[in-house]
């Protein structure tokens, strides 16, 4: 019987993602256990469990046909006393990506908020795992106990997640993770970003935005300017990273590089990628400015988002 799955961040983390390494099972043959049909409880079939990273349960993962699930990441208060709700998603597909246009299979409620969400859903990343905090919904200071819900339908199932400001445990961290910054760990500070060399620096989840134009079939080069800022980690003062993905649009796109390492001089640098579009329309690209591909996302903290709107014509 098909139904509606109502999910929260803690439901996902508790039921689907385990917090540490699985117990070592010495009697399991890796050749056998990497077969998706094998019943090897706790075996890291897809080697998705590096140290200090959340681990997907291997039984949930396939090359394709698995769920893409919306996630309520948390909330924070803005300087004007309004609030921002943050959402991301989890895919359990190693290879399959999905385009789900805004409509009956992808919608926000209340209806006046609909259209802000992503329409492209990438497969599992080999290290980062999933896109975190990919879009923000701003609500008024008197939002109270109301809800913003995001619903996704895919592979014959419906998944709905409520966003709210009523639980303190969902408060999202600042752009600096205090618990890790004091130990000088990489991934404790969100590198600043700007998409225009003359724009002010943006920092954290609400990020930077820009608009560009492109032609079908002609690569568009996009520069991103980063600043390592106040990080005290020596490695992060010498290099930073960008992670690119399609956020929304009528068709898939091709990046020359979707992971860009940026050498820094005096804490600053520029990373560039080229993106090619196969169909006309309006696209949005998402870029994360991060200290490291490994653990910048652990505490919903330490990266800066950037959204690039591209209007593509023939």
Query: Residue 306, Cα to own-chain centre: how many angstroms?
Result: 11
In a domain, 284, yes or no: yes
3-state secondary structure of 45: coil
Residues 275, 213 share a domain = yes
Domain CATH number, residue 303: 2.60.40.10
In a domain, 158, yes or no: yes
Residues 306, 199 share a domain = yes
Residues 237, 126 share a domain = no
Residue length of the chain: 314
Mean pLDDT, residues 209-228 taken together: 98
Task: Please give the mean pLDDT across all residues of the chain.
Answer: 84
| pLDDT per residue as tens digits for the range 187-213 | 788 999 999 999 999 999 999 999 999
Residues 183, 165 share a domain = no
Closest among 225, 248, 257 to 310, alpha carbons compared: 248
List helix spans (H) across 182-305: 234-238
In a domain, 26, yes or no: no
Based on its alpha-carbon atoms, the radius of gyration of the chain, rounded to whole angstroms, reads: 20
From 169, 198, 227, give the residue that closes a domain.
Answer: 169
Quote the number of domains for the chain: 2
| pLDDT per residue as tens digits for the range 161-190 | 999 999 998 998 788 777 677 767 777 889
What's the angle, vertex CA 299, arms to CA 45 and CA 154, rounded to 5? 55
Mean pLDDT, residues 42-53 taken together: 45
Residues 258, 150 share a domain = no
Q: Which residue has the tokens 């959402």?
A: 87
Asked whether the predicted pLDDT for residue 143 surpasses 70, the reply is: yes
Q: Answer left, alpha or beta for residue 249, where phi above 0 means left and psi between -120 and 50 means alpha.
A: left
From 169, 190, 218, give the residue that closes a domain.
Answer: 169
Q: What are the structure tokens assigned to 303, written together? A: 């990266």
Domain that holds residue 256: 178-313
Residues 145, 265 share a domain = no
Residues 275, 224 share a domain = yes
The Cα–Cα gap between 30 and 192 comes to 42
From 124, 149, 169, give the residue that closes a domain.
Answer: 169
Residues 297, 206 share a domain = yes
Residues 296, 196 share a domain = yes
């Amino acid at each position: 019987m098909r139904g509606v799955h109502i999910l929260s961040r803690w439901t996902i983390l508790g039921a689907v993602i385990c917090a540490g390494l699985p117990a070592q099972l010495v009697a399991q043959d890796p050749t056998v256990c990497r077969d998706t049909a094998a019943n090897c409880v706790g075996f890291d079939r897809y080697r998705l469990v590096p140290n200090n990273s959340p681990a997907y349960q291997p039984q949930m993962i396939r090359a394709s046909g698995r769920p893409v699930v919306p996630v309520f990441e948390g909330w924070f208060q803005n300087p004007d006393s309004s609030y921002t709700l943050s959402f991301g998603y989890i895919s359990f597909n190693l290879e399959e990506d999905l385009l789900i246009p805004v409509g009956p299979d992808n919608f926000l409620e209340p209806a006046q908020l609909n259209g802000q969400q992503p329409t492209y859903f990438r497969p599992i990343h080999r290290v980062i795992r999933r896109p975190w905090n990919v879009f923000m919904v701003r609500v008024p200071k008197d939002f109270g106990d109301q809800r913003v819900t995001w619903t996704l339908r895919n592979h014959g199932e419906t998944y709905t997640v409520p966003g709210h400001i009523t639980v303190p445990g969902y408060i999202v961290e600042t752009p600096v993770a205090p618990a890790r910054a004091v130990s000088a760990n990489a991934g404790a500070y969100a590198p600043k970003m700007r998409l225009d060399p003359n724009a002010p620096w943006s920092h954290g989840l609400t990020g930077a935005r820009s608009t560009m134009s492109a032609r079908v079939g002609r690569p568009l080069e996009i520069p991103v300017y980063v600043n390592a800022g106040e990080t005290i980690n020596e490695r992060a003062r010498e290099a930073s990273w960008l992670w690119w993905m399609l956020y929304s649009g009528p068709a898939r796109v091709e990046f020359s590089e979707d992971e860009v390492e940026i050498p820094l001089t005096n804490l600053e640098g520029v990373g560039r990628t080229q993106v090619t579009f196969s169909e006309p329309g309006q696209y949005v690209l998402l870029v994360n400015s991060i200290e490291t591909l490994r653990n910048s996302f652990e505490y919903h903290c330490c990266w800066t988002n950037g959204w690039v709107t591209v209007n593509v014509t023939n």
